[in-house]
Chains A and B, each alone.
Chain A
Amino acid sequence: QKEVEQNSGPLSVPEGAIASLNCTYSDRGSQSFFWYRQYSGKSPELIMSIYSNGDKEDGRFTAQLNKASQYVSLLIRDSQPSDSATYLCAAKASGGSYIPTFGRGTSLIVHP
């Protein structure tokens, strides 16, 4: 069974710090990885995708992928209170299906 594991948190960081969110996946066939941000009462919003080993940076966000360790992470630099949300990790195998496997999400709280 394909699984994506995340620590549910909450992860609490001070404003301006780096928030590090981690995710592991069980399916070695996974090729595409996604991070979604979900504010309370809202739907998930795609913020990063990564499919090659290494780092991918987009503004304050950096996604890191290590396929050998089956590990994905999301770093948020200069964390702001507006980053407080639940972050969902998702992994998807290659092929025509668009159905990823989602983790339970990590709640991030950025306090002033």
Chain B
Amino acid sequence: SAVISQKPSRDICQRGTSLTIQCQVDSQVTMMFWYRQQPGQSLTLIATANQGSEATYESGFVIDKFPISRPNLTFSTLTVSNMSPEDSSIYLCSVGSPKATSGGTDTQYFGPGTRLTVL
């Protein structure tokens, strides 16, 4: 499985400001994803980060609010813009691992997450 790191691990921000979260993977991966997990809730996919093209956003998420960069196959950033308290959440980077040899299956692995609190 891939080793994924995220920075920062946590932050406390003022409303109206922006925070950029970095995700680094130890190997080249085709698919990178950004999720949000609010307290007591399951995972909500924000967008798929595509290398060399614009990210694909899920319903309810827009590029102006959550701009994403994917400059290469091992790195991506997610920016949470013009933050409000409702953006307080854990943000998770995830990568898709391709199918292994016969009998394997493609799976997703998660980074350690960024815990964001907006005051």
Contact = CB atoms under 8 A, between A and B. Distances in A.
Interface of A: 32, 34, 41-46, 49, 51, 88, 90, 92, 97-100, 102-105
Nearest to A33: B105
A89 to B, nearest CB: 10
Interface stretch (B13-21, B38-46, B64-72, B81-89): B38-46
B94 to A, nearest CB: 9
Nearest to A92: B106
B92 interface: yes
Is the interface on chain B under 10, 10 to 19, 20 to 34, or 35 or more residues? 20 to 34
B33 interface: yes
Contacts of B90: 43
Given A43-B112, A46-B108, A104 B33 contact: no
B113 A102 contact: no
B42 A104 contact: yes
Nearest to B115: A41
